Amino acid sequence: MCRKTILPITLMFMMLVPLVPATTMTYDSFDTLQTETLSNTILTLTYNDEHKEYSLEDLLAFDQITGNGGRIKSSGSVSGPYTYTGVLISSLANEFSTMPSHYSMVAIADDGYTITYTSDEIAGETMVYDSEGNELGVGGVSMILATSEDGDTDYSGAYRIVFVNDNEPITDASLWAKYVIELEFFEGSSDTTAPEITIVNPVEGYFHFSGIPLFETSTDLIGDTMGFGGFRVRPVQIEITDDVDGPEGITATLYADDIKERDMAYNSENELFEGKWIGPALGTFTMKIVAEDSSGNIAEASMTVWYFCFVPE
């Protein structure tokens, strides 16, 4: 009797032994599965130190936008247009319930390269060109993170930020971040640097007739910089540069003794902001220029000008 019962117990024990490594194997497989899931992450979204990770499948679960778009380099060479499908950047921003209505973004590439986007650019307010590189105007395009180019999810530069619509808009290649792995959002603006202003006209220390600098004044005159007949034929001209904004993102205002003279307009031919300073007045004025970028950073530049004009506006 005794020997008969031992055999089944021994058999049962022998059967149990392989179960131990089998259980370990199950855990190993589970770890591998988890690692694979993490390495499937193609995009991280960051806002206020909160990170969210997305696989391609996750991105494809968003509402998809399909449109056409090409890019133009500063050299003038055009790539595309191609057909892109992807997710609106604003849809990605909305993944954070606390995202304010006004936000900016930094796109980070796999090599660490970054591109900063203003809220205007995220809303598609960027210059659109035709296939010849001629400016057509600002806006009318959607900014998306493209999950496919011409139907291919494994395209060169994936995943790119692109600007598309139903036509064939061409936009600045400098805004087409490629190999993007992370989008970091900021409340308001990440741009805290004011524009830089260079006064081109009037020319300091010159006598101007109707705005045209004629000759250098000698120091015993009424003022170093003199404007006779206002700045009409040649307006007040300034050069403004900004770390983030192009001219369409900049506003410039001309003041005389803190009284607003006018808004200055960008002249794409000489790439200067211009504004006439006209109307009857006589005396020494502080001419002041105030420039503001799209993030609200303000710069000022001023010049003392002896001004005389008797012609009405």
Where along the sequence are the contacts to Ca ion (CB under 5 A)?
A: 191, 193, 242-244, 293, 297
DSSP 248: G
Separation of alpha carbons 119 and 103, rounded Å: 6
Q: What's the closest the beta carbon of residue 190 comes to Ca ion, in angstroms?
A: 10
Q: What's the closest the beta carbon of residue 119 comes to Ca ion, in angstroms?
A: 13
Check: CB of residue 217 under 8 Å from CB of residue 206.
Answer: yes
Following CA atoms 93, 96, 97, 103 in sequence, which dihedral angle do they give, to the nearest 10 degrees?
Answer: -50
Q: What's the closest the beta carbon of residue 248 comes to Ca ion, in angstroms?
A: 13
Check: CB of residue 67 under 8 Å from CB of residue 55.
Answer: no
Decide whether 148 or 297 has the Cβ nearer to Ca ion: 297
DSSP 218: P
Decide whether 78 or 301 has the Cβ nearer to Ca ion: 301
Decide whether 85 or 297 has the Cβ nearer to Ca ion: 297
CB-count burial class (<10 Å; 0-12, 13-18, 19+) for 105: buried
The total number of residues shown for the chain amounts to 313
Separation of alpha carbons 45 and 189, rounded Å: 17
Separation of alpha carbons 143 and 137, rounded Å: 16
Give strand pairing partners of 54: 43
Decide whether 250 or 309 has the Cβ nearer to Ca ion: 250
Q: What's the closest the beta carbon of residue 299 comes to Ca ion, in angstroms?
A: 9
Decide whether 184 or 293 has the Cβ nearer to Ca ion: 293
Separation of alpha carbons 66 and 56, rounded Å: 16
**Which residue is at the shortest CB distance from Ca ion?**
293
Q: Which residue, among 108, 138, 135, 133, has the nearest Cα to 120 in the 3D structure?
A: 138
Check: CB of residue 200 under 8 Å from CB of residue 239.
Answer: yes
Decide whether 121 or 191 has the Cβ nearer to Ca ion: 191
Both structure tokens of 40: 């499937």
Amino acid symbol at 88: L
Both structure tokens of 276: 């006439």
Decide whether 149 or 292 has the Cβ nearer to Ca ion: 292
Decide whether 174 or 193 has the Cβ nearer to Ca ion: 193
